[in-house]
Structure 1
Amino acid sequence: MYLVVKRVIDFILSLAALVVLSPVFLVLAVWIKLDSSGPVFFKQKRVGKGKAFFQILKFRTMRTDTPSDMPTHLLGDPEAFITKSGKFLRKTSLDELPQIINILKGEMAIIGPRPALWNQDDLVAERDKYGANDVLPGLSGWAQINGRDELPIPIKAKLDGDYVERMSLTFDVKCFIGTITSVLRSDGVVEGGTGVIEKAKKEVER
């Protein structure tokens, strides 16, 4: 029953957000175009509910010659590809705003596991263990406010599974408030840093 209520809430809130934030969309679009050549939006194939693919939308934050379909942490020097406007957009998470459109279309939810890249088989496989591929991916989620880019894949998948088990209006509100706090503090945002905590431990052990 809550899944139906959740979808109605997501639709209403995302529609309202799109209307209210339209001036912000316009300003950011102009800045992106003036900052570097290329489209305003970035589209990428992601894994949705039931492991079906969809095209996620973001404001473009990297140069157009950046290798496609590659997680940022696998790039040799991620900073070299990020534009000036992109650095700000990524730090503030404003690059994620166009996903409001994905929410309106029913491809995503406001809160849920972050959608994996189509080729992130390791993350998808880990999420299968917890049923985290059986719900709509989210703009933000439980894993996002508990480490984000710093989390190694097994821990991220386990947190996604915890979300599925605890999913409710109360828990979604908790995740939403936690997201706002994390964004304001830029918690867990590490360019090229997926699994940073785990990597740091290995460095110490050497």
Structure 2
Amino acid sequence: MIRILDILFSSLGLALGWPLLLLIACVGKLDTGSPMFRQQRVGRFQQPFTLIKFRTMRPGTASVATHLASASAVTPFGRFLRRTKLDELPQLWNVLKGEMSLVGPRPCLFNQHELIEERARRGVFDARPGITGLAQVNDIDMSTPKLLAETDARMLRSLNTAAYFRYILLTVTGKGAGDRIRS
């Protein structure tokens, strides 16, 4: 049922949201010269996939977890995109392709060994990674790998249609601050 909802909502989001996506891409092009950001992430069953987002940091910024990136790398427009979570919109394409779900554990980088180990131990990689979930709406980010993996596993054990809609609604209404960036 959740995969059907993912297909429906990502299709609708892309079909109805294309003017906003185009506007953000145009402003992003002026902001950084390269509005889209692509990065290899750990997907379901630990398979690699290419995550796409709107770029919020200057091109050439080191490919590290957000909590390890410097705040000075984030552009003013990027701060706006992160605060409003609009930088995540292109991931609707990842959802439509089946690489992600709207709700699930946030996909990590392959160099986040501690988080990968903690998630593997708890079976978190049996699920598709998501755009939002229990950890995100509770401000738990990748800077606390064990807590994040425990929270992801707890969410997956109780994930049903009602919880799916609750996490989406909480995210859309602004709950959760997103990944912290060091000052």
TM-score (norm 2): 0.93
Q: Secondary structure at the match of 1:25?
A: helix
Q: Deviations over 1:110-152 (max 9, x none)?
A: 1000001111111111112221111000010111111233862
Q: Residue 15 in 1 paired to residue 31 in 2?
A: no
Amino acid at match of 1:12: L
Kindly indicate whether residue 157 of structure 2 is the aligned counterpart of residue 161 of structure 1: no
1:102 matched to 2:89? The reply is: no
**Gapped runs of 5+ residues in structure 2?**
none
Greater CA deviation, 147-156 or 83-92? 147-156
What RMSD over aligned residues (CA atoms) do the two structures have, in Å?
1.7
Displacement, 1:85?
A: 1.1
Quick one: which amino acid aligns to residue 50 of structure 1? F
Identity value in percent: 37
Decide whether the 8 Å contact of 1:150 with 1:188 is kept in 2: no
* Alignment match, 1:176: 168
Deviation string for 1:67-110 (max 9, x for gaps)?
1x2112223xx122111211111111111110000001000001
- Counterpart CA distance in 2 for 1:188 and 1:34 is 24
Instruction: Output the CA distance in 1 between the equivalents of 2:142 and 2:48.
Output: 25
- Corresponding residue number in structure 1 for 2:123: 131
SS in 2 for 1:61: coil
CA distance in 1, matches of 2:182, 2:90: 22
CA separation in 2, counterparts of 1:150 and 1:70?
11
Kindly indicate whether residue 42 of structure 2 is the aligned counterpart of residue 47 of structure 1: yes
SS of equivalent to 1:149: coil
Note the 1:1-206 alignment, pairs <5 A.
5-37=1-33, 39-67=34-62, 69-75=63-69, 78-149=70-141, 152-181=144-173, 184=174, 187=177, 189-192=179-182
CA 1:170–1:186 in structure 2 vs 1: closer, same or farther (change >3 Å)?
A: closer
SS at match of 1:125: helix
Q: Which residues of structure 1 form unaligned runs of 5+?
A: 194-206
CA-to-aligned-CA distance 1:42-74 (integer Å, 9 cap, x gap): 00010000000000000011111211x211222
TM-score (norm 1): 0.83
Larger Rg: 1
What SS class does the counterpart of residue 124 from structure 2 fall into? coil
Deviations 1:167-187 (A, max 9, x none): 211121221222223xx2553
Amino acid at match of 1:112: G
Equivalents in 2 of 1:150, 1:136: separation in Å? Answer: 17
| Aligned partners of 1:45 and 1:55 also within 8 Å | yes
Contact 2:83–2:177 (CA under 8 A) maintained in structure 1: no
